[in-house]
């Protein structure tokens, strides 16, 4: 069984914009993200991004633009992300179980990568990131934004997650 850190994308890895991040000119990695992900990788964690990308359903950008954004993120982070899962839906257009707060993408990743949920984490910035994580048995960390009653820990940014995750994984 693998230990894993699941990550939301916008607001955790890169700066979040109200009008979406889907091009190189909008992509701004948050401070310390590259170093934090490298440290988690060196500690033996899988790194899986689970992200809602509702701008696709709304016709604001295409899947190709999103995939290009993910390629740019991977390039900037030295290829540390093991997989990007995304939900291209929005309730105003269509319903689906893959969109957070649904847990289907988490369940798929856990099955595919043989993840030990009890030794794994979700880092998100919104309550909807933490709801499905709790459902599948992950420990949760909320970064920067609104208060979630579901967060096991609350920290300023991804860098501040390291002591929590690494100390617990050591034992």
- Domain coordinates of the chain in residue numbers? 4-170
4 in a known ligand binding site:
no
Pick 117 or 19 by higher pLDDT: 117
Mean pLDDT on 50-57: 94
Contacts 24+ apart (CB under 8 A), 72-78: 72/24, 72/27, 73/9, 73/13, 73/14, 73/27, 73/29, 76/27, 76/29, 76/34, 77/13, 77/29, 77/33, 77/34, 77/37, 78/34, 78/38
Task: Give the model's pLDDT for residue 102.
Answer: 93
Percent of the chain with pLDDT over 70: 96
Q: What is the pLDDT of residues 112-147, one digit of tens each?
A: 999 999 999 999 999 999 999 999 999 999 998 667
What predicted TM-score, i.e. pTM, was given to this entire model?
A: 0.95
54 in a known ligand binding site:
yes
Give the chain's mean pLDDT: 94
CATH superfamily of 4-170: HAD superfamily/HAD-like (3.40.50.1000)
Reply yes or no on whether the pLDDT at 6 is more than 90. yes
Confidence of residue 83 (pLDDT cuts 50, 70, 90): very high
Task: Give the model's pLDDT for residue 171.
Answer: 67
Task: Give the model's pLDDT for residue 85.
Answer: 98
Report the C-alpha gap between 78 and 75 in whole angstroms: 5
Report the C-alpha gap between 121 and 156 in whole angstroms: 16
C-alpha dihedral sign at 16, 21, 25, 31 = positive
Mean pLDDT on 61-75: 97
Task: Give the model's pLDDT for residue 60.
Answer: 94
Q: Is the Cβ–Cβ distance between 25 and 67 less than 8 Å?
A: no
Mean pLDDT on 70-99: 89
Reply yes or no on whether the pLDDT at 57 is more than 70. yes
82 in a known ligand binding site:
no
51 in a known ligand binding site:
yes
Task: Give the model's pLDDT for residue 29.
Answer: 97
Annotated catalytic residue 8: yes
Question: Which entry of 10, 82, 152, 157 is annotated as an active-site residue?
Answer: 10
Annotated catalytic residue 147: no
């Amino acid at each position: 069984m693998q230990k894993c850190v699941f990550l939301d994308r916008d607001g955790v890895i890169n700066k979040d914009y109200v009008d979406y991040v889907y091009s190189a000119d909008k992509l701004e990695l948050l401070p310390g993200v590259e170093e934090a992900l490298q440290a988690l990788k060196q500690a033996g964690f899988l790194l899986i991004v689970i992200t809602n990308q509702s701008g696709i359903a709304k016709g604001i950008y295409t899947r190709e633009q999103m995939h290009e954004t993910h390629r740019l993120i991977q390039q900037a982070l030295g290829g540390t992300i093991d997989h990007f899962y995304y939900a291209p839906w929005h309730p105003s257009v269509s319903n689906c179980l893959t969109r957070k707060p649904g847990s289907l993408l988490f369940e798929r990743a856990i099955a595919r990568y043989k993840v030990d949920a009890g030794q794994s984490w979700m880092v998100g910035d919104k309550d909807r990131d933490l709801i499905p994580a709790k459902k599948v048995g992950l420990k949760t960390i909320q970064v920067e934004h609104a208060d979630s009653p579901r967060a096991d820990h609350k920290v300023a940014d991804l860098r501040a997650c390291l002591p929590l995750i690494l100390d617990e994984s050591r034992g």
